[in-house]
Amino acid sequence: MDFKIPEPLKVEHEELHAELVALTKSPGKVGEAARNVATLVHPHFVKEEEYALPPLGLLATIARQGVTPEMRAVLTMTERLKKDLPEMLAEHQRVVGALEKLAAESRVEKCPDAERFAQKLREHAETEEHVLYPRPFSSGSTCAPGSGCESGPRTSASSSRLSRPLRTAGPPILTRRWG
């Protein structure tokens, strides 16, 4: 099964990247600060696009059809995200520190575009931490052994994911299901 990053997230990453590239070409301290942000954020984006964001592409399918055995392959990505999450969050802290410097330099050099970008990327990081990173762990919460996902999608209302509380916090669910 092919796991694709949801298009809106892909577009957002591309837009952030393009804005940052433009800022790295700025003269003075703003350009220097932007290049520092780019040095930190590029490898982080690569990791996200490799294994943190693709599992999110399953959410719409899970909501419509339930969990299927073919989705087990996503466990490789969610396990890696689970393992790397402390480092991913530490990278966010380093990026936010660099963004604070970029914002400060943008105020000194009167470059409002750079300051807006710094705020936009900070908000993006917060969304990842509070919404996007936890989602792959909860997207498999309905595939407990015996739930029917081993034999294909569920269709009855009693086994529907919507009939149970959604788990969005706590330990990774995908790593403890599918036997």
Q: Is there a domain that residue 2 lies in?
A: no
Question: Which range, 24-33, 59-68, 167-176, has the best average confidence (pLDDT)?
Answer: 24-33
Rounded mean pLDDT of the chain?
79
Token look-up 């299901």 returns 177
The residue segments making up the domain with residue 18 are 7-176
Q: Is there a domain that residue 20 lies in?
A: yes
For 109-137, b where at least 16 C-beta lie within 10 A, e where not — what string?
Answer: bebeebbebbeebbebbeebeeebbbbbb
**Residue 26, pLDDT above cutoff 90:** yes
Residue that wins the pLDDT comparison between 21 and 167? 21
Number of domains in the chain: 1
Q: Is there a domain that residue 1 lies in?
A: no
Taking the C-alpha atoms of residue 15 and residue 5, their distance in angstroms, rounded to an integer, is 15
